[in-house]
C-alpha cells in the first residue's frame, strides 16, 4: 500500500509505503541514521505503474519505520 500526503501547501509530497516485514529487515532501525537507497524502497513494488515508480525514484529522506500489527484486545 502506498499513501501520498501533500504537505507545505503542495510544495512537498510525502509518500508512505507499506509492505510486509519479511521484505525489509529493520530490526535495528533508529532515528537520524543515513537514508536508505531508493532501490530498497522500490524493490517491494516491481509491478507498480511506471509513473508512480518515477515519483518514488526521485525520493529523498528515505527512512524505514517499523509498524506492528496487533490483534484487537
Give domain limits for the chain: 2-57
Residue 61 Cα distances to 14, 69, 70, angstroms: 10, 25, 28
Distance of CA 8 to the CA centre of its chain: 19
Give the pLDDT band (50/70/90) at residue 28. low
Average the pLDDT over 29-47 and give the result: 81
Q: Check: CB of residue 22 under 8 Å from CB of residue 7.
A: no
Provide the pLDDT for residue 50. 93
Average the pLDDT over 2-11 and give the result: 87
Give the pLDDT band (50/70/90) at residue 51. very high
Mean confidence (pLDDT) of the chain: 80
CA–CA separation, 25 vs 66, rounded Å? 9
Judge whether residue 67 has pLDDT over 70.
yes
Distance of CA 37 to the CA centre of its chain: 11
Q: Grid coordinates in use for 33? A: 541514521
Amino acid at each position: 500500500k502506498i499513501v501520498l500526503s501533500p504537505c507545505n501547501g503542495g510544495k512537498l509530497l510525502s509518500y508512505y509505503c507499506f509492505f510486509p516485514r519479511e521484505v525489509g529487515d529493520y530490526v535495528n532501525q533508529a532515528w537520524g541514521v543515513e537514508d536508505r537507497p531508493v532501490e530498497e524502497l522500490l524493490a517491494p513494488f516491481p509491478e507498480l505503474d511506471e509513473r508512480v515508480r518515477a515519483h518514488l525514484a526521485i525520493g529523498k529522506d528515505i527512512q524505514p519505520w517499523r509498524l506492528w500489527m496487533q490483534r484487537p484486545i
